[in-house]
Structure 1
């Protein structure tokens, strides 16, 4: 399939294929119709032949080339599958488009430091697991690391030590190798129902871009556990725009990860 795609990726060869789709033609005829010299046309036909797209018929002193439909049919199936995959995952593109729009909107108002201080978010989930299980997925590093990173990100260190003054750390890297670090402390922990902690997002120099103050409550319900996560922003710098813009989408994605691991239902996100 790679060889077929490469062969068809040249404009001149694509024109030759279009002409051969009408009927078999000789090198001379193809050269005349494409405006190419005959040696160029022959090289293009050889490339198409190696990919199985054309067959040559020696007819006395002439060589006539015909197009093979089979490889094109295979390519058609591959492209159809590709289109279906794109359509099935259209929401992933929507996430990127919403994030880009959010960055533009935040940039328009981020004229000075502290511009987003006091902004608050809430996230609600009903998870199909007892709250002791949900609690463990927040405070045990291996379990926390299994769901906390957004798609395409890789966690390199994470910790929420469930005691006042305990470490709160979230480090991860993107596919390009850029590292992102957040650090803070746990303010309160009552197992298995309440966890409060701060996380300051740090830039490359270690300066604070913004601080998130998180308040997690886990309440037992008939179908499992109701998770409620409150987040309030403070210490905002102008450079925090892409982080602030991604909060709603990012936490939605990681809570999707958590729900996928332990079971979950509806999501609700509010901002004030």
Structure 2
């Protein structure tokens, strides 16, 4: 497949393939159609033949080339699969577009330290499981690690010790590096409420104060998460811009992870 992709990437060869799709043609015909010299046309045909895209038959003094449909059919299936995957990721492209718009806005606003202090966000999800199950996915490290990361990041360490002054730690990694936050639990009422803070370490720092509430409903648990920003640095603009889309993805991860475990 790689060889076919490479050989069809040349404009002259692509045009030759188009003409051969109409009918087999001799080298002389193709020389006239391409407007190239015969040695150049022959080299293109030989490259197509090596890739299996065309076959050649000597007819007397002529060499006639014909297009081979099967390799192109297989190549077309591969391209079709790529298209299918790309179309399936339309939501991810929308997320990127929203993040870019948010990043542009936040970068323009980040003209001084503490520029985003007091900014608040709120999220809500209906999770098809009782509050005690959802609670465990917040306070048990092995469960937390299964969902608390957007697609581009992996969890390295995560702790939410559900008692006042308990440790709160979150560390991600991606291809560019690691990103660590540390804080403490302020309030914990089992299966009902968890209040904690996390301060992002490094130059692009800010502190996020979280207020998680779990309410039992007939469908399972209504999860509400409030988030308030303090201590923002100018360099934190990219992180602040990603809060809305990032937490939306993370809470979707949580919901789908619990759904899968309940089956």
TM-score over 0.5 (shorter chain):
yes
Tell me the distance in 2 between the aligned counterparts of 1:11 and 1:186.
63
Aligned to 2:259: 263
Aligned to 1:193: 192
Tell me the distance in 2 between the aligned counterparts of 1:261 and 1:85.
22
Aligned to 1:217: 213
Deviation, 1:164, is 1.6
SS at match of 1:165: coil
**Which one is further off, 242-251 or 35-44?**
35-44
Aligned CA RMSD, in angstroms, stands at: 1.8
Tell me the distance in 1 between the aligned counterparts of 2:120 and 2:134.
23
* 1:154/1:173 contact within 8 Å kept: yes
Q: Mind listing any 5+ residue stretches in structure 2 that lack a counterpart?
A: none
Alignment of 1:248 with 2:244, yes or no, is yes
CA distance 1:183–1:208, change in 2 (3 Å): farther
* 1:172/1:180 contact within 8 Å kept: yes
Deviation, 1:18, is 2.1
Tell me the distance in 2 between the aligned counterparts of 1:6 and 1:216.
53
The TM-score normalised by the length of structure 1 is 0.89
Alignment of 1:79 with 2:79, yes or no, is yes
Tell me the distance in 2 between the aligned counterparts of 1:169 and 1:28.
73
Tell me the distance in 1 between the aligned counterparts of 2:84 and 2:140.
39
Q: Could you report, residue by residue, the CA deviation over 1:45-84 in whole angstroms, capped at 9, with x for unpaired residues?
A: 2221222210101112221111122322333333333323
Tell me the distance in 2 between the aligned counterparts of 1:157 and 1:177.
17
Aligned to 2:31: 31
Tell me the distance in 2 between the aligned counterparts of 1:251 and 1:76.
38
Aligned to 2:177: 178
Tell me the distance in 2 between the aligned counterparts of 1:99 and 1:177.
18
Q: Mind listing any 5+ residue stretches in structure 1 that lack a counterpart?
A: 265-272
* 2:157/2:170 contact within 8 Å kept: yes
The count of aligned residue pairs is: 260
